[in-house]
Chains A and B, each alone.
Chain A
Amino acid sequence: MDHAAFRAFYEKTVPKLRAFVIHSCGSVDVADDILQEAFLRFLQSAPLARLDESQMRAYLYRTVESLIVNQWHRRQRDEKIRRDASVVQDKSRPDPIADEMSQAFASLDPKHRTLLWMAYVEGYDHKEIAAASRVGEKSVRVLLFRARQMLMKVIKKP
């Protein structure tokens, strides 16, 4: 991939991908570190020549999902040592509804978050999600169904 192609792809992909990472890990700084690492891995190891744009984007979602999980484990370890919840979150957003939505999304299972985002924000169909997550189409259907149920529970929570 040359510089111009990377620029075009980055500019198109980053807004939604960044929003996904920010709402998943609850910190803009951590999200940007994850994003940078994901794009670096993407440029270094993805077999780019064989992937179309949607597959490249799916590769990035898979990478950020695993980085978010790693980061979550690291944070749990650090918390055990410090027992200081104040370092977990960045400053709260001025909009309390946005804050509440973001927290609700972050409370979901990482796999569920990725599936919901790919299906309802990126607009991927089950086949594309299956190819991206390297699981069967049938499994995607079941997992997405569970993810929807979990999200509805969180949304409807009083």
Chain B
Amino acid sequence: MKSDQICAMEKTILSALETGRWSEALTNHMNGCAYCRESVEITKWMRQLAAIPEESEPPDLEVIWMMSRISQSSRRLAVPVWDGIAAILFIAFIAVWAWSPVESLVTKMVPSHSMLLVTFLVSCTIAAGMTVAALNIESLHLRRR
């Protein structure tokens, strides 16, 4: 028997097996068709296997439903967090980009011997601002959870 020698009557034969209604024509076909006989044998074996009773209960559907809801809401929360991170990165980029105009402005206002101290203070202020922003986003995320 080859794979292209599949019998077109298989579906009808399997329906008869399901319903138990065997016409004479179907019985005659079954007797003469090795493919259909094999299909019936396989179907009976597979259904017997599927019907083996299992004592334990399947996983609780309420648990699955709840877990899926939780993971969906945390996925929704992940978006604002990423928005916040993008905003912080944008501020950092602007700070670096605008550094030289700020520095020249500060140079005019501050004596040159205090320049190092001013640079240090400005860097600290930006870093502190970014930390506060990051902490705010994190606490918002926790509160929503």
- What is the interface of chain A, defined by CB distance below 8 A to chain B? 3, 6-7, 10-11, 14-16, 18-20, 22-23, 28, 32, 35-36, 39-40, 43-44, 93, 95, 98, 101-102, 105, 116-117, 120-121, 123, 125, 141-142, 145-146, 148, 151-152, 155
Contacts and interface: CB of A to CB of B under 8 A. Distances in A.
29 contacts: A6-B61, A14-B61, A19-B50, A22-B54, A23-B49, A28-B54, A28-B56, A32-B59, A35-B59, A36-B59, A39-B59, A39-B68, A40-B68, A40-B71, A44-B68, A44-B71, A44-B72, A98-B52, A116-B42, A117-B46, A117-B50, A120-B42, A123-B18, A141-B3, A141-B4, A141-B6, A145-B6, A152-B42, A155-B45
B11 interface: yes
Given A7-B61, A36-B64, A117-B50, 18 more contacts: A10-B64, A11-B61, A19-B52, A20-B50, A22-B54, A32-B59, A36-B59, A39-B61, A40-B67, A43-B68, A101-B49, A102-B49, A102-B52, A117-B46, A121-B47, A123-B14, A141-B3, A145-B6
B43 interface: yes
Nearest to A147: B42
Given A28-B56, A32-B59, A141-B6, A6 B50 contact: no
B138 interface: no
Interface of B: 2-4, 6, 11, 14, 18, 38-39, 41-43, 45-52, 54, 56, 58-59, 61, 63-65, 67-68, 71-72
